[in-house]
Structure 1
Amino acid sequence: MVCSLQRSGTTAFLTALNQHPDVETIGGVIKRPLKNGGAKPDYSVYDAEFDSPYTVVRSNFGRETVQQCTFSPFRDDDDIHRTRPLFLIKDPVQVWNSWARQGWNQFEHFKIAYQHLLDLYAQVREVSDRVRCVAQEFLGTVPQIIFPQILENWGIPYDSRVVYWEDESKVGAYSLNGDFAKTTDQIRRDEARNLHETLQTGPPTYRTVIRRPENSLQIEIADLMDLYFRYSAIMLETTDRYIVDGGPSDLGRQLELLRIMDEARRKHLAVLRGE
């Protein structure tokens, strides 16, 4: 199971997994009834049979209804142990920018969904020590280090094709009930050749695209800062796991990347404060 917010890099993540010959990915199934006014998620995926040895299910939170922002992808603790969930988090300012560019202007739903993602991570990590979390920004920087660890935690043999894509027919697509389907944020096949190129988009701009009256804007910036501090704490904590596991040969490079990311965060906070 991979849990994330919409517009946080999960399409690229599933595209990478689709390159693995033994992995099938499923997206959007659990929360689908909630979009149409349903009261409960669809947990039938837990009892379904799949052709591939391994199946990874995506549960992303947001956006039209509160139910879509706050549902649980797990029925009980057994589901958590079975799925060994990975939480893919991304800078909330960048995610909100992406939402707004799509015309998704319900900031309250965004805030609820992001808080729910972080709260859910805190809850499920108390249930199982196989729960993992990684920042999308870090995954996009050193996927060749992080992806082997993600797959190892899931018991899936590593295949370099998840990082260096070979099957272009699966780029920008994921399986929906067994059929590959285009997504609204489809990756352009003529530009993306591997996970690094797709996720590594350069230093963050930290440009909010919020268009609101000033009093409302101030409230949203305060909420974004609160989410950002929570994100930063989790990102630094979880990144430390990958630095340690990455090995001494990569330690210096990773620490330098963290320093660059930390400098970008400070600039971002200065922008939010109006400095």
Structure 2
Amino acid sequence: MRRLTLQVRDRSGPQRSLGPADSGSRVMHASTSMPIPLLGLRTRRHSAMRQRFDNVVAKIKLQPRTRASRIAKRAVDIVLAAIGLVALSPVMLLLALAVKLTSPGPVLFWHRRCGLKGRMFRFYKFRTMVPDAEARKRALEHLNEMKGPAFKMRRDPRITRLGGVLRKLSLDELPQLWNVLRGDMSLVGPRPPTPDEVERYTTRQIQRLSVMPGITGLWQVSGRSDIADFERWVDLDLTYARSWSMWLDLRILLKTVVVVARVRGAR
């Protein structure tokens, strides 16, 4: 299957295409130190995770960002998310009705996710699984097809019939426009992990939390269904962090439209 590629330039090396990664060549060296406290994890279950990472300082070589560029990125997020919510509200209402009529349970699924520097927030999606999906997950963990802390299963029995269609078209992600408007997420960035996943992160993997999570990113436009190694996922996220620009965000958004139109990459 032909892969979409993006040419990315950072200031530490020449232009390159994002194809199959050599993870050893992508280890990031320190030029900017960013503390990653796991905020909001106050339960006993997460106390060990807090103790492990409270003293970690994730170091990643970031593309220099001015205050103006940060403001510009946030402004674009707000404007596009607001336009998207208004323009797509009829579609979202129809999807909500379809979810309600085709399976028991709530229309929206929300979950605790870790955002920038480990800040916890509520992550929203249209529900695509049976109501007790989280309870069933433990019984399926031995079938995980992703190497690493993230869980991926090509034929997950918890997904409803309508949910499979929504995932294939990425329509289940539309409520995350609200997360973008709230400032929990950006339109473009790494996917936000669950606390359980972060609990198993290595020091290098936790560097994903050095940037604002997003609805789409390099992973989504690089054939995410074909990526079976979490380190490859991390490679793409850290490459985005060190190569960030408004132009790169725009290109990723345009590639996302192409991927969704071709019904490719999701599962």
TM interval, short-chain normalised: under 0.3
TM-score (norm 1): 0.22
Question: Which structure carries more helix by proportion?
Answer: 1
TM-score (norm 2): 0.22
